[in-house]
Amino acid sequence: MKVSIIVGTICLIGSLSSFAQSEPKSPSIYKIPADVLAGEGLEFKKQKDPNRKVYQKQVYNGTELAVFVVAIGTGITNEFKSFPMEEFIFWMNGKALVEPEGESPFPVYSGDYFVQAKGFRGKWNFIDIGELHLELALIAKNRPDSTIKSPIKKALVLDRDILSGVSQPEKGIVYKGPELTVRLLVPESGTMENKTKERMLHVVNGVVKVTTSLEREHTFYPGDFFMVPQGLECSIESGGLQNFRLLEVTKT
């Protein structure tokens, strides 16, 4: 099955919103390296509290999106009066207990995908697991006014029925806020929307074969994250025993 596309951290350390304004030199697909996703090559970030351990690496800096891998020490609590941005986060290691102001607490586990709400008030408690928590975090660049909040008040953990293929949201849209849009793409989705957008794609299921307009072929497997820059035309074909499911994140 083929479809065609034309693509145009929790802020735990308070620095995900500051990055160089460089742009990719040429439109090409970029796979986020597996060793970085495993936490290798992260840089230590000095904190006011010497007991807090934070490591970070910016793995992609595009025209619309920036992606980071962040490792945080355990047994700490971060409290937010009003979270300054929307973040898409894949929680790769550890557990956190989220306490939204005025609402019941809920856990976030390894393997969870979620969107942190802009304007969130409450606490994130990082459960002591004796090692570092690890996450992949994506944010939009050139964000709208800080007074514009997310339509949700707490972190939205993506429904496992949707990720497992049990149910399909309308038009594939899992979440749409003022800064980020998350969609689940399957072969039946047909032509992808937001064709001028830069995007991050994550292979949830199946083998994904991508051929660009530059006649370059790429193959991605479950667990892979890759970036498709603005303006790059691609065809995407599923392989393996099952059709693909792709999680797509773009700037709204």
Q: What is the pLDDT of residue 26?
A: 56
pLDDT of residue 3: 46
The pLDDT score that the predictor gives to residue 234 is 79
Per-position pLDDT tens, the chain of length 252: 444 443 445 544 344 444 444 444 557 899 999 999 999 999 998 877 777 789 999 999 999 999 999 999 888 899 999 999 999 999 999 999 999 999 999 999 999 999 999 999 999 999 998 889 999 999 999 998 888 999 999 999 999 999 998 988 998 999 999 999 999 988 754 334 445 889 999 999 988 888 887 767 899 999 999 999 888 877 788 777 777 899 999 999
What is residue 237's predicted lDDT score, i.e. its pLDDT? 81
Residue 52: C-alpha distances to residues 45, 71, 195, 233 (Å): 10, 11, 42, 44
Q: In this structure, are residues 181 and 173 in contact, taking their beta carbons and an 8 Å threshold?
A: yes
The pLDDT, as a whole number, for residue 14 is 44
Nearest CA among 213, 250, 192 for reference residue 64: 250
Amino acid at 206: G
Distance, CA of 206 to CA of 223 (rounded, Å) = 10
pTM for this one?
0.86
pLDDT at 195: 59
Sheet holding 199-205, edge to edge: 30-31, 225-228, 199-205, 245-251, 180-185, 173-176
